[in-house]
Amino acid sequence: MVEMKEVYLDNGATTMVDPLVVKAMQPLFSEIYGNASSLHHQGEAAKHKLNEAREAIAKAINAKFDELIFTSGGTESDNLAILGVASAHDKSLKDHIITSKIEHPAVLNTCKYLESLGYSVTYLDVDTEGFIDLDQLENSITDRTLLVSIIHGNNEIGTIQDVEAIGKICKKHGVLFHMDAVQSFTKTSIDVKKIDVDLISMSSHKIHGPKGVGALFVRKGTKIASVFKGGGHEFKLRPGTENVPGIVGFAKAVSLASSSHIKQMSKLRDKLIRSVLDEIPNTKLNGPKGDRRLCNNVNISFASLEGEALGAYLDIEGICTSTGSACSSQTLEPSHVLLSIGVSHEIANGTLRMTLSRFTKEEDIDYTIDALKRYVEKLRKMSPINTIIKKL
Ligand SMILES: Cc1ncc(COP(=O)(O)O)c(C=O)c1O
């Protein structure tokens, strides 16, 4: 039997765990398995591994050891940042939050929850490439504003916001700034000494680490309370026995990321974008080009077809892609991100996201371009709306 080729272009949803990460985690299951809070030698050994990992990840963003809180992933980090800051402040004085229309559901739904508790939330508009308007941000801040929460690298269309400028505005007005860096961490540099940011969400499984581990950077002095009730773990901010194997794997994944991978992914990303736009008619890139786009993100709308059908055909060829974010593709609703940048419902439904990793090879991209050309043509021929191929 001929083995089917596997081309994984859904790294925005999750990534393959790097074999070196698996190797680094292995001893933490049955050799060093103590509870990091225990005082005996097993506990001490686990604590040592936990401390090493915390030091390494904090260093990757130029933060201090005790500014990094381990969580169960990006969703929990986003929840802890927003709910933790809200509950630590007096709601009768500070009850306004600013976010954008293109956030991940982990932020959007947390903000909606706060609205149900009586907070007011401003959802900033974005332009056709997904950038927020800095003037609109500044004009939205009032003396009741507590927090600004903005996604750093967008998970669907790859837009990288100008977080230096956002941070400056927040600092000028004495407002806290949280950025969701789940997609951007290790894919663009983040230095907390250069960005006026108070809270940063990160997740391990997007960067070739294990699932179920994440971190929240909390700048020293930030007023924040824990959301879960329990013991005093993680500087009293996140109770629960630490997932030491996962955390060690997360730190190993961070250590394996490098700027040469960013260059390599950007090159293949641009080849894929260029080839599709040049060789397949009536296609349109969503999100910006160049350095202001995540190095691994391609998001293209194909007129007169259904993205779900295209994805299913590509899957037959062994190519994994997605029609939106993994979280929203179950609902079959057009993506809120695409609608926010002005894409019509119909065109949003003909959209495919392809997200690369450092394991993506040039031959994978060539193989995908070839399959795309064939299946886009086939689907357009089959489509009842093909008689009026929409020009993009
Ligand atoms: C931008 C963004 N934020 C948050 C999350 C949630 O992260 P996790 O899957 O680790 O809970 C994701 C995952 O898709 C994401 O892309």
DSSP annotation string for 290-309: GGGB-TTEEEEEETTS-HHH
Number of domains in the chain: 2
Contact 187, 153 (CB under 8 A): yes
- Give the atom of ligand 1 at the shortest distance from the alpha carbon of 73: 10
CATH code, domain carrying 149: 3.40.640.10
Using CA positions, which residue lies closest to atom 15 of ligand 1?
182
C-alpha of residue 92 to centroid of ligand 1, in Å: 31
Signed CA dihedral, 298, 302, 307, 309: sign only: negative
Tell how far the Cα of 378 is from the centroid of ligand 1, in angstroms. Answer: 34
Residues 26 and 147 in one domain: yes
88, pLDDT greater than 80:
yes
Q: What is the pLDDT of residues 335-373, one digit of tens each?
A: 999 999 999 999 999 999 999 999 999 999 999 999 999
Q: Which two tokens stand for residue 285?
A: 């890139």
- CA 66-71-72 angle, to 5 degrees, is 160
Global pTM? 0.96
Do 119 and 235 belong together in one domain? yes
Q: Which of 44, 43, 67, 45 minimizes the C-alpha distance to 54? A: 67
List beta partners, residue 149: 178
> Which tens digits make up the pLDDT trace of 8-31?
999 999 999 999 999 999 999 999
Q: Which atom of ligand 1 is nearest to the CA of 106?
A: 4
Q: How many CA atoms lie within 13 A of 2 on its CB side?
A: 5
Mutate to test the pocket of ligand 1, among 182, 211, 250, 297 (most ligand atoms within 8 A of CB): 182
Place 326 in a pLDDT band, splitting at 50, 70 and 90: very low
pLDDT tens string 188-241? 999 999 999 999 999 999 999 999 999 999 999 999 999 999 999 999 999 999
Question: How would residue 383 be classed by pLDDT, with cut points 50, 70 and 90?
Answer: confident
Q: Identify whether 303 is part of a domain.
A: yes
Backbone angles phi, psi at 197, to 5 degrees: -120, 145
Look up the CATH number of the domain holding residue 308. 3.90.1150.10
Mutate to test the pocket of ligand 1, among 159, 206, 336, 337 (most ligand atoms within 8 A of CB): 206
Q: In terms of residue numbers, what domain contains 330?
A: 7-15+258-388
pLDDT band at 384 (very low <50, low <70, confident <90, very high): low
Based on the fold, state whether residues 310 and 346 are members of the same structural domain. yes
Ligand 1 neighbours, Cβ below 6 Å, are 73-75, 78, 104, 106, 151, 155, 180, 182-183, 203, 205, 214, 325
Whose Cα sits closest to atom 4 in ligand 1? 74
Domain identity same for 86 and 162 = yes
- The yes-or-no answer on residue 170 being catalytic is no
- 131 phi/psi in degrees, rounded to 5: -90, 140
Q: How far is the CA of 185 from the centre of ligand 1 (A)?
A: 11
Q: Is 20 exposed, middle or buried (0-12, 13-18, 19+ CB in 10 A)?
A: middle
